């Protein structure tokens, strides 16, 4: 007679993950509290500015309605106020600025990060960063006294050779024996060149920082496959830094939209709804506010603050999108050899 012995296996209890406790102590806690405080303060100040401008814009938008955005005249004495022309002028100056700043910023960032000797790199970075420390009024004076005579000749050349395009048209005869130089001065073209020098350091800094984060493994792999230095830039650095290029350009665009003093010193104020950057006369939102703020009545002041609120929203949206693009560009996605 056989007996069967049944052995019971011990029950296995499912392992539970341990909870990790993170306790801040000493300097870490001080830094975390300080960073939260500074970040919260910046958000509170920005939100407070936006809320103040939004509240000030309510009476103007209630009185003029949507016509505030479609009217080009600014004549508060006859109750005709609109920002259509200054919105177009703001966009024109910013586009001209980025047309000059983008290639210069990209070339500067590539040279510093890829071509400059290591011993000169820090010096070049400091020199570019110092351009951002120059006051706006200096750029405005430079543009008015030094740049304007030469830029007006370039504007005339563009009008002579590309005047068949509406963007380069000027209401004068470029082939006249005595050409009207004043028709090519105090324009969005000249103001845009001055603003370009102001936004170049910001765009170049963002691009250079992203280029420097290109993975060294991909760089070495491209060189091992026989690639030249330009080949490495084209196959590794530029694809990796695509987001930085876009983000830096958009950050510069946001800076160009809000520039005031340099534009006020150069342009001749005009409320014409035209897309002719080479021709005299234009206006921007920031220049309008700076020029009319001192003598504004109560109703006109509310209209100026409404225009400021529109510029605030546009700049905030552009800078937010640019920051998101720059933040996402650091993963190196899209890099291909």
- pLDDT tens for 22-51 read 666 677 888 888 999 999 999 999 999 999
Q: What is the pLDDT of residue 331?
A: 45
Q: What is the pLDDT of residue 300?
A: 87
Q: What is the pLDDT of residue 104?
A: 95
Q: What is the pLDDT of residue 2?
A: 52
pTM of the model: 0.84
Q: What is the pLDDT of residue 13?
A: 57
* Phi and psi, residue 282, nearest 5°: -165, 180
Q: What is the pLDDT of residue 277?
A: 92
Q: What is the pLDDT of residue 175?
A: 79
Q: Which residues of the chain have pLDDT under 50?
A: 1, 331-337
Q: What is the pLDDT of residue 191?
A: 94
Q: Distance (Å, rounded) from C-alpha 281 to C-alpha 140? A: 16
Annotated domain spans of the chain = 37-331
Q: Distance (Å, rounded) from C-alpha 147 to C-alpha 129? A: 22
206 contacts 228 by C-beta, under 8 angstroms: no
Q: What is the pLDDT of residue 333?
A: 47
300 contacts 292 by C-beta, under 8 angstroms: yes
Domain boundaries 37-331, corresponding CATH code: 1.10.3720.10
Q: What is the pLDDT of residue 141?
A: 93
Helices assigned H by DSSP within 111-241: 118-131, 136-141, 148-162, 188-211, 216-224, 229-232, 238-240
151 contacts 223 by C-beta, under 8 angstroms: no
CA distances from 140 to 46, 198, 266 (A): 27, 10, 6
Whole-number percent of the chain with pLDDT over 90: 41
Length of the chain: 337
Q: Distance (Å, rounded) from C-alpha 7 to C-alpha 161? A: 99
Tally the C-alpha atoms within 13 A of residue 56's C-alpha that lie toward its C-beta: 19
Q: Enter the DSSP assignment of 282.
A: B
Contacts of 162 by beta carbon, 8 Å cutoff, 6+ apart? 168
């Amino acid at each position: 007679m056989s007996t069967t012995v049944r052995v019971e296996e011990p029950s296995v209890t499912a392992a539970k993950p341990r909870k990790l406790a993170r306790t801040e102590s000493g300097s870490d806690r001080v830094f975390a509290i300080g960073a939260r405080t500074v970040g919260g303060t910046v958000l509170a100040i920005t939100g407070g500015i936006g809320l103040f401008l939004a509240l000030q814009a309510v009476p103007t938008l209630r009185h003029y309605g949507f016509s505030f955005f479609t009217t080009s005249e600014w004549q508060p004495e006859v109750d005709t106020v609109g920002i259509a022309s200054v919105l177009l002028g703001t966009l024109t100056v910013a586009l001209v600025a980025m047309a000059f700043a983008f290639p210069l910023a990209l070339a500067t960032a590539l040279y510093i990060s890829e071509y400059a000797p290591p011993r000169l790199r820090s010096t070049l970075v400091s020199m570019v960063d110092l351009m951002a420390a120059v006051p706006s009024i200096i750029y405005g004076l430079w543009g008015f006294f030094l740049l304007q005579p030469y830029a007006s000749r370039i504007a005339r050349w563009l009008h002579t050779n590309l005047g068949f395009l509406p963007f380069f048209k000027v209401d004068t005869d470029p082939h006249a024996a005595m050409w009207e130089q004043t028709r090519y001065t105090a324009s969005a073209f000249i103001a845009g060149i001055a603003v370009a020098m102001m936004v170049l350091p910001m765009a170049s800094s963002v691009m250079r920082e992203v280029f420097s984060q290109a993975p060294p493994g991909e760089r070495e792999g491209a060189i091992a496959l026989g690639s030249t230095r330009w080949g490495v830039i084209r196959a590794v650095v530029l694809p990796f830094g695509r987001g930085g290029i876009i983000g830096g350009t958009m950050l510069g665009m946001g800076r160009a939209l809000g520039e005031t003093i340099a534009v006020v010193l150069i342009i001749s104020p005009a409320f014409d709804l035209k897309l002719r950057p080479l021709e005299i006369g234009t206006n921007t939102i920031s220049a309008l506010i700076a020029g009319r703020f001192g003598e504004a009545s109560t109703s006109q002041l509310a209209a100026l603050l409404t225009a400021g609120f529109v510029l605030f929203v546009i700049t905030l949206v552009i800078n937010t999108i640019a920051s998101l693009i720059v933040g996402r560009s650091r993963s190196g996605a899209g890099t291909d050899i």
